[in-house]
């Protein structure tokens, strides 16, 4: 039988348990909402302005670099599984692959993109 069936069971049970716990809280807890209670909590004074603050562009760079290395890892996992059986050439190919991407990391770093400010 397909092993993913068991993973699906884990997902289903993994959803049921937290839903059950939250439902228990919903059943046993008091429910007396009012507008004052529902105001957002920020530092003890009233909320000022819009919630959608403008974010630093650096967040995008972090996600971007992560995306690139994520895809890189996708290529490297089959490589890592197989290099034990293959010759030195496979290892060298992988090293070239990684080195090319390290150049990209170096570029982003040199441009000061990986720093916060």
Partner 1 sequence: MTGEQIIFLITAGFTLGSGFMVVTTRNLVHAALWLVSTLFGVAVLYALMNANFIAVVQVVVYIGAIAILFIFAVMLTRKDLRENTPQINKNWWAGALLAALVFAGLVFLLQGWSGFSKTGSALPSDFDAVGMLGEALVSPNAYVLPFEVASVLLLAALVGAVYVAFNKK
Partner 2 sequence: MVPLSWYLILAAALFSVGLFGALVRRNAVAILLGVELMLNAVNINLVAFWRYGDVTTMTGQVFAIIVFAVAAAEVAVGLALVISVYRRRNTVVADELDMMKW
Partner 3 sequence: MNFWNDPLKIAADWMEGIFVGWGMDAVLAHVLVAFLGVFLLIAILMVVDIFLVWVERKVVARFQDRLGPNRLGPFGLIQPFADIIKLIIKEDTTPGGADKVVYNLAPILSMMSVLILWAVVPIAPVMLGVDLNVGVLFLIAAGAIGTLSIIMAGWSSNNKFALIGGFRQVAVMVAFEVPMLTMLLVPTIFASSMNMNDIIQGQGNLWYFALSPLGALIFLVAAIAELGRAPFDLAEGESELVSGFNIEYSGMKFGMFYAGELLHAMTFGGIWAILFFGGYRFFGLEQVSPFLAIPIFLFKALIGYWIIMWVRYTMMRIRIDQMLVFNWVFLTPLSFVLLMVTALMNALLKDASLWIYGLGMFLSNVVVGWIALEIARSVSRKQRESVEGPKNLAEAPH
**Residue 102 interacting with partner 2 (CB under 8 A):** no
Task: Please state the closest distance from residue 103 (CB atom) to partner 1, in A.
Answer: 6
Q: Which of 6, 60, 107, 109 forms a contact with partner 2 (CB under 8 A)?
A: 60
Owner of token pair 């009233």: 46
Q: Which stretch binds partner 2 (CB under 8 A): 15-23, 71-79, 93-101, 106-114?
A: 71-79
Task: Please state the closest distance from residue 113 (CB atom) to partner 2, in A.
Answer: 11
State which of positions 37-56 bind partner 3 (CB under 8 A). Answer: 37-43, 47, 51-53, 55
Q: Which of 12, 16, 23, 67 forms a contact with partner 2 (CB under 8 A)?
A: 67
Q: What is the DSSP letter of 114?
A: T
Choose among partner 2, partner 3, partner 1, none what residue 46 binds, the Cβ cut-off being 5 to 8 Å by kind: none
Which residues, at least 6 apart from 40, have a Cβ–Cβ distance to it below 8 Å? 47, 51
Q: Which of 1, 5, 45, 74 forms a contact with partner 2 (CB under 8 A)?
A: 74
CB 45 within 8 A of CB 103: no
Burial (CB count <10 Å: 0-12, 13-18, 19+), residue 81: exposed
- One DSSP character per residue, 56-67 reads PTHHHHHHHHHH
Rounded to a whole number of angstroms, the CA Rg of the chain reads 25
């Amino acid at each position: 039988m397909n092993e993913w069936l068991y993973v699906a069971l884990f997902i289903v049970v993994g959803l049921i348990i937290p839903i059950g716990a939250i439902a228990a809280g919903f059943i046993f807890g008091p429910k007396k909402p009012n507008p004052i209670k529902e105001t957002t909590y920020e530092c003890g004074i009233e909320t000022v302005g819009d919630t959608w603050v403008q974010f630093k562009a650096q967040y995008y760079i972090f996600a971007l670099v992560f995306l690139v290395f994520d895809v890189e890892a996708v290529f490297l996992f089959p490589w890592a599984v197989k290099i034990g059986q293959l010759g030195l050439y496979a290892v060298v190919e992988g090293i070239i692959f990684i080195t090319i991407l390290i150049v990209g990391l170096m570029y982003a770093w040199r441009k000061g993109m990986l720093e916060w400010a």
